[in-house]
Amino acid sequence: MISPIELSIIPVVAFIIPVVFVVVIGNDRQRLIRMSFSVSALASFISVVAGAMAVAGHSVEQVVLPLGLPTLPFHLRLDQLSGFFIFVVGLLSFFVSVYSVGYVSGLGAGKPVKRLIVFYNIFIAAMLMVCLADDALCFLVAWEVMAASSYFLVMFEDGRSENRRAAYLYMVMAHIGAVLILLSFGVMAGVTTGFEDFSCYTFDAMRAAKFPLKWATVAFLLSFFGFAAKAGVIPFHVWLPEAHPVAPSNVSALMSGVMLKTAIYGIVRITFDIIKVFPWWWGTMVLVLGLVSAVMGVLYALMQHDLKKLLAYHSVENIGIILIGIGLSMIFTSFHLPVMAALALIAGLYHTMNHAMFKGLLFMGAGAVLHATHERNMDEMGGLIHLMPWTSAFFLVGCISISALPPFNGFVSEWLTFQAFLLSPSLPIPMMKLLIPLGAALLALTGALAAACFVKVFGVIFLGNWRGHSQHVVTEAGWSMRAGMSLASLACLCLGVLPAIVINWMDAISESLLNARLVTTSGVYGWMWLTPVDPERASYSGPLVLIGIVAVCAVTYVLLHVKPGNISRVPVWDCGFKKLTPKMQYNAVSFSMPFRRIFGFLFDIKEQIRLTPQRQHPAFPENSQYYLRVRDRFWGWLYRPVIDRVVLLSRKAGMLQHGRIHVYLIYSFVTIIVLLALL
């Protein structure tokens, strides 16, 4: 019998096979795409199995590879936490790989498909390695391979300058994060065990160590902000809305769906598994940053009319929601309330998995729409539900899930987070008692705004009439793209309908990290009822809600359709105005106008109406144009000043560089003389 860790190493190696394919069958494009993405899908599926077994197996396995430094070989470890993340990464990679067969075939002939295949596979393998790594070196190597390969994926269409800019910004942010993480590992290794040999860089040594509070705080802050830069927590989110829209959609699905989650994995690993004991303000900080990211992320998303940019800002929002769960769990842990900590942690991790599924689904759907319409601006679309019925159905599933509505999965994890909030009055600190209701209210606001946002997205893209200027022939997505999206939709539904089973399975994580189980089920029909704390407090039954919704829909359908005359199609009432045009529909900009009025102070808004006066008299304008530009304030607040300073400093330093050899020689001459004179 093969053990889970061996099973989880197989896909990492298997992802190299498609790279070999590129070399061997490079020129037969269709065959190359089919074969390599099939192998990727298979490898991802193996890691799903390995991850599921690892979580269910209640065991911890370690392997030392004969790679790496002579004194610090690569240590791998598969426990419940890494098993869970491997499961999530593998599951979404499986769906996306199935989807990619059709998506990549449909890319234009001039696109560098070989490069896409190579880096796509390296990227997934690196994410799996990040979850498996059990020493600082292996972790960072995998982390950097992940960053570099995704950089090349973002640079996919490198002919356009905005793509190069986005990729560069991503690389800079990824490296700031990586440096912080590196420093954090250095602090943990150095402070606790000294620099006697390299073995202090293994996570095992760090786990065994007792951290003094001061250094633990330094290490935590460094690693948290390092991971936050990768996860896109506000204010480190600027790269997300730049990088996600320019990458190919299957890559955006993976980057947003699972790459951001590796940062969540890192935060959980370092706080709960390595540092273990921490003061309550750490959790509060994570909670507050999570709340800010959630609210600001969704507000920025509302303002977007570029579909993929909008989805990117929603990633910021959802990372915020995940961090709310994790922050609450940290607070409960520092007050020694393990069961509540387990509830909040499970809520955060469940949302991690859910977000991977529905955001992957939405990006796949966005890819299908973009592929069919060649348009990124939502205001140029409309009425696609008639042309792409399958895609719109799957996209609707994603929209409902992300808006946290039952019976899909987003509801379950946000509901669990609310349960964790509602338990918080038992905390002994007054400030927390104030913060917690505010947090719960903000989370509720986030959910409502997300729902509004996706009403906008679905309504503008799929309903109404075609708004665009281009008369492109729109066709339904191919079978493999539909297969990928339908699998992801199915996962969204299952995770929403059967949460009790899933949480029973996930309980092993909280047990291994916090020594506490969540009592999720009670009674004979335990699989039906999710009761996280106490049956008298709150419970949710996915299956019953599903049955209820299906029943209501069925009854409505029957009532409407049973008599043939009940539905008749007539022209839209034009209010007596004879010339209705598609321009008169609500579009993304007009739908979000109320939010722009209410939350306008958060954005950098430039709104203009330009009137072209008629020749006879200025009072009768011939033509009017509406111009709107909404920008992220953080760029001007935080990034622009820093960039300006850096440029200024480098200009100053650049003055040393004359390009004259004599001057350089004088520099070294003077240095030598000064050093000799001083020493």
Partner 1 sequence: MNLQVLAQVNSFLAALVLLTAFAMLSQRKINSLVTLFAWQGLFLSINTAVVGFVASKHHLYISSLLTLSIKVILLPYILHVLVVRLKIRKEVETIVNIPTTMLIGIALVIFSYHLTAPVREMSTLITRSTLAVALATVMIGLLMMITRKHAVTQIIGFLAMENGLFFAATSATYGMPLVVELGVALDVLIAAFIFGIFFFHISTTFDSLSVEQMESLREDN
Interacting residue ranges for partner 1, rule: CB under 8 A: 651, 654, 657-662, 665-666, 668-669, 672-673, 676-677
Nearer residue to partner 1 within complex by CB, 448 or 648: 648
Sign of the dihedral defined by the CA atoms of residues 492, 498, 499, 504, in that order? negative
- Interatomic CA distance for residues 174 and 255, integer angstroms: 13
Give me the least distance between CB of 645 and partner 1, in Å please: 16
**Spatial contact of 176 and 642, defined as CB atoms under 8 Å apart:** no
Give me the least distance between CB of 629 and partner 1, in Å please: 31
Give me the least distance between CB of 644 and partner 1, in Å please: 16
Give me the least distance between CB of 81 and partner 1, in Å please: 48
Copy the structure tokens of residue 161: 């300058």
Give me the least distance between CB of 169 and partner 1, in Å please: 21
Give me the least distance between CB of 168 and partner 1, in Å please: 18
Nearer residue to partner 1 within complex by CB, 374 or 658: 658
- Interatomic CA distance for residues 47 and 54, integer angstroms: 10
- Interatomic CA distance for residues 42 and 11, integer angstroms: 8
Q: How far is CA 549 from the centre of its chain?
A: 29
**Spatial contact of 239 and 247, defined as CB atoms under 8 Å apart:** no
- The HSE-up count of residue 314 (CA atoms within 13 Å, CB side) is 36
Nearer residue to partner 1 within complex by CB, 448 or 674: 674
Give me the least distance between CB of 657 and partner 1, in Å please: 7
Give me the least distance between CB of 166 and partner 1, in Å please: 25
Burial 597-635 (b: 16+ CB within 10 A, else e): eebeebbeeeeeeeeeeeeeeeeeeeeeeeeeebebbbe
DSSP, collapsed to helix, strand or coil, labels residue 604 as strand
Nearer residue to partner 1 within complex by CB, 612 or 668: 668
Give me the least distance between CB of 114 and partner 1, in Å please: 34
DSSP, collapsed to helix, strand or coil, labels residue 203 as helix
Burial 477-505 (b: 16+ CB within 10 A, else e): bbebbbbbbbbbbebbbbbbbbbbbbbbe
Cα distances (Å, whole numbers) of residue 432 to 183, 192, 428, 443: 31, 32, 8, 16
Copy the structure tokens of residue 259: 């790459």
- Interatomic CA distance for residues 261 and 360, integer angstroms: 12
Burial of 578 (0-12, 13-18, 19+ CB in 10 A): exposed
Copy the structure tokens of residue 262: 């590796």
Nearer residue to partner 1 within complex by CB, 619 or 676: 676
The maximal CA–CA distance of the chain, rounded, in angstroms, is 104
Nearer residue to partner 1 within complex by CB, 431 or 665: 665
Give me the least distance between CB of 646 and partner 1, in Å please: 14
Nearer residue to partner 1 within complex by CB, 110 or 654: 654
State phi, psi for 580 to the nearest 5 degrees. -80, 130
Give me the least distance between CB of 677 and partner 1, in Å please: 8
Nearer residue to partner 1 within complex by CB, 71 or 650: 650
Angle between helices 409-423 and 479-497 (to 10 degrees): 30
**Spatial contact of 352 and 256, defined as CB atoms under 8 Å apart:** no
- Interatomic CA distance for residues 673 and 540, integer angstroms: 79
Q: Which residue has the tokens 């390695």?
A: 129
State phi, psi for 187 to the nearest 5 degrees. -60, -45
Give the H/E segment covering residue 223: helix 213-231
Give me the least distance between CB of 659 and partner 1, in Å please: 3
Give me the least distance between CB of 613 and partner 1, in Å please: 47
Sign of the dihedral defined by the CA atoms of residues 223, 228, 229, 231, in that order? positive
Nearer residue to partner 1 within complex by CB, 71 or 668: 668
Nearer residue to partner 1 within complex by CB, 620 or 667: 667
DSSP, collapsed to helix, strand or coil, labels residue 476 as coil
Nearer residue to partner 1 within complex by CB, 448 or 647: 647
- Radius of gyration from C-alpha coordinates of the chain: 27
Copy the structure tokens of residue 532: 């996280």
Q: Which residue has the tokens 């049955």?
A: 547
Nearer residue to partner 1 within complex by CB, 210 or 660: 660
Nearer residue to partner 1 within complex by CB, 28 or 644: 644
Give the H/E segment covering residue 450: helix 430-462
Give me the least distance between CB of 344 and partner 1, in Å please: 52
Nearer residue to partner 1 within complex by CB, 593 or 673: 673
Give me the least distance between CB of 679 and partner 1, in Å please: 9
Please give the span between the terminal C-alpha atoms of the chain, in angstroms, as a whole number.
68
Nearer residue to partner 1 within complex by CB, 581 or 657: 657
